[in-house]
Amino acid sequence: MNQDVSFPYDISFPDFKPSEAVSVDVEKYLKKLERLYDRIVSCHVAVRAPHKHHKNHIYHVHIRLKIPGEDIVVNREPEKNYSHADMHVAIRDAFNALHKQLRERVKQMRSHHHGEDE
């Protein structure tokens, strides 16, 4: 199940039991984040299906990525986004948003370091 992600992480599914493939998908996204930035401290991913009384779940994905000095949080609760009835789409969209935020943060850090006198 481990995709050789070098930082500590946990994946929780409070409302249901996922297939092994879902955890493997999440680990692939974590590995992609690690390739972008190798100083990730930890990551917590929670995937929820909060409305059990509905026939089709709309999945909510919450990710907290710790990097030195800050946390980057993505909280996807797309009540009106019916594509998020597909758990894989909801997870992909959340990680795409996180990847974009991390990429921007890495760019800021690099431009800040290049601007300093050494």
Taking the C-alpha atoms of residue 42 and residue 64, their distance in angstroms, rounded to an integer, is 8
Taking the C-alpha atoms of residue 58 and residue 81, their distance in angstroms, rounded to an integer, is 8
Hey, where are the domains in the chain? 9-114
Taking the C-alpha atoms of residue 116 and residue 83, their distance in angstroms, rounded to an integer, is 45
CATH number of 9-114: 3.30.160.100
Higher-pLDDT residue of 15, 45: 45
**Neighbour tally for 105: CB within 10 Å:** 17
78-98 pLDDT, tens digit each: 666 666 678 888 999 999 999
CB 98 within 8 A of CB 66: no
Higher-pLDDT residue of 49, 47: 47
Taking the C-alpha atoms of residue 38 and residue 31, their distance in angstroms, rounded to an integer, is 10
